Structure 1
Amino acid sequence: MNATAAYQEALAQLDQWREVPEADDVAVMANLVAILKSLWPHCTWIGFYRAPFAGQDLVLGPFWGDPAPLVVPWGSGVIGSCAQERAVQIVGAVSRFAGYIPAVSRTQSEVAWPIIRGTHLYAVLDCQAAEENGFDLADIEWMGKFADRLS
């Protein structure tokens, strides 16, 4: 299966999970993390930080990878910056990102995508790779499609 077909299949699966009445967002997010790990085996960490209250610390989970900080302060690191700015953060070299939070020592690059519901930042989808510039444009575009489906 080519990459585009794999991404389209993953989006369709995400849509199906979202339609299950008994499923909550955390369950759907957990399965999405599993799919992304299969699509991106080069990742060192994939997961979500949720924003239960506007402007307050972001809360971990669900995720795949090494243990991570339980909370990320609003505006701190790649994830907190993504939340505060409500903008995608594409960091090709985390060593050059001011305020980077080094939770996974193997991580060299990171992409964080905001998930916004209505006017509220709901969560941040974060993916990290072991290589500098570890995500290409297609990866980032598809990450956005997954994030948009959760908005």
Structure 2
Amino acid sequence: MFDFAPAPGASKPDLYRDLLAAADAVTADEPDAVANMANVAALLGEFLPDCNWTGFYRMVEGELVLGPFVGRPACIRIPLGVGVCGAAAKSGETQLVEDVHAFPGHIACDAASRSELVVPIKRDGEVIGVIDLDSPDLARFDAEDRDGIEALARLLSDRV
């Protein structure tokens, strides 16, 4: 059994250091990608305050398909270039969106979401999925969040 939790009052760098260590511990010896995504989605939900959705979309035959997550039911398929997730997958670039309602083509899977951070997961230069974080707070995510989740995506690139 795993029992990981963020340290109370931890700074963002410490929180992401601990999150990365926990994600490494639960995925290091597990070859199943879905199991790894499920555990990491749960860790994200546990470690990151003020998020109403944390999880994954996987690249399947040229579109994003819902993977393991924590939160309300979500859009199942997202075409490349559509919404924040589709933009991240198509461009291969992280999308840090302070106000999703101002993002052209935003897909409102949960009307409560107001900001979003989507980080592509790449293997051999190709996007194989994305990590998606939503928050009911405007401008919830910043450069420290981006850097922390990009480090997580690099760790997971050969484990999901």
TM-score of the alignment, normalized to the shorter chain, above 0.5: yes
Unmatched runs of 5 consecutive residues or more in structure 1: none
Unaligned 5+ segments in structure 2 are 1-6
Q: Which residue of 2 aligns with 1:46?
A: 54
Where in structure 1 do 4 or more consecutive aligned residues deviate above 6 Å? Answer: none
Percent of aligned positions with the same letter in both sequences?
36
The DSSP-based 3-state class of the residue aligned with 2:145 is: helix
> Is the CA contact 2:96–2:142 (under 8 Å) kept in the aligned structure 1?
no
Deviations 1:98-143 (A, max 9, x none): 0000101100000100000003211010101111101132222111
Report what 2:90 is aligned to: 84
- C-alpha deviation, 1:65, in angstroms: 0.7
1:3-82 aligned within 5 A: 3=11, 4-21=13-30, 23-53=31-61, 56-82=62-88
Distance 1:96 1:110 in 2: 12
Q: 2:100 aligns with which of 87, 94, 104?
A: 94
SS for the counterpart of 2:37 is: helix
SS at match of 1:51: strand
What residue in structure 1 maps to residue 139 of structure 2?
Answer: 133
Provide the TM-score with structure 2 as the length reference. 0.86
Q: Give 2:3's aligned residue.
A: none
CA distance in 2, matches of 1:5, 1:89: 23
Per mean C-alpha deviation after superposition, the further-off stretch among 3-12 and 105-114 is 3-12
Query: In the alignment, residue 129 of structure 2 is paired with which amino acid?
Result: A
Q: SS of 1:31's equivalent?
A: helix
Residues 94 and 146, structure 2, Cα contact 8 Å, conserved in 1? no
- Counterpart code for 1:49: Y
- After superposition, what is the alpha-carbon deviation per residue over 1:24-79, rounded to whole angstroms, capped at 9, x for unaligned? 111111111111111213101111100023xx111101111111111101110000
TM-score by length of 1: 0.91
